[in-house]
Amino acid sequence: MPITLPLDPIPATRVNPRLMLLYGKEKIGKSTLMAQLNQPGMTKKTLMVDIQKKSGYAFLGNGIYVHVPDAQTFYDLGESIKKAGRPYGRIVLDPVSSLMTEWAERKAMGMYKSSPVGVNFTGTSVLALPNGGGYYWLRKAFDSFIDEAMTWADEVVVVCHVKDKYAGVEETVNVASGEIDLLGKLKPMMCQEADVIGHMFRNPQDGYKMWVSFQSPERVTCGCRCGHLINKSFEFKWGRIYKGEGYEGDEAEKTGTNNVVSSATTGTPTA
């Protein structure tokens, strides 16, 4: 069948991120902000998929969430969402760290043993395969969870922690992909798939308010495909991330006075 060749520039069909990865230290308020996706004025209903059993705490009081303790519950949830006609505009997976990696490792084991090359495998984990061969299956299994969640709603937010060794690091210090709490090559794979990658941190130069950086210096895994977020760093507000959510910007945003050079530096705001 002949293909019609484009002769003119093609306008963008999306403004907001389809898949967004947000990462930061534990217990700095990431989940509280995720719950605020259902605050008055938001145009889309958001479901928080609580992987770490935080449901019931006061900081999630305004959230819409369901606790998902294992992979089977995850897929059962997906079936229920689809049968209900996909009632959510956004899905938040919080957090996609060690627990979900464990799900992927178990699924990878089943996938490998069902393949022709692994039918006689007697080990207990694909990660024991020589030459790192098991990581292919781990990545494939992990990716299947993300792909599944992408069928539940138009937009998906993935929340990650950083490794424990960074728990005491100064708030304004950013981290590279190797310090995101995902196993092996799951880190760069997740970062490559995301439309937007942001580092959440408490800015001591702004009263320790939550900030998010989408800037992408060479050593830092941040960045985005969304024009309104490219090279930006600002106080965390959903309306600045998702355009059309009722936030039209303030004077600081218009003048750029609440953007910082990088959350990896001193955090001092610059004009």
Q: Where are the domains of the chain?
A: 19-111+139-255
Which of 21-35, 173-187, 206-220 shows the lowest per-residue confidence on average (mean pLDDT)?
173-187
What whole-number percentage of the chain has pLDDT above 90?
44
Q: Which residues contact 181 (CB under 8 A, 6 or more apart)?
A: 95, 97, 98, 160, 161, 162, 163, 164
Numbers of helices and strands, H then E, in the chain: 7, 9
Q: Report how far residue 266's alpha carbon sits from residue 179's, in angstroms, rounded to the nearest whole number.
A: 20
149 vs 53: which has the higher pLDDT: 149
Nearest to 263, CA basis, from 18, 17, 22? 22
> For residue 155, is pLDDT > 70?
yes
> Does domain 19-111+139-255 sit in CATH 3.40.50.2300?
no
- Cβ atoms of 46 and 242 within 8 Å: the answer is no
DSSP 3-state of 3: coil
What whole-number percentage of the chain has pLDDT above 70?
77
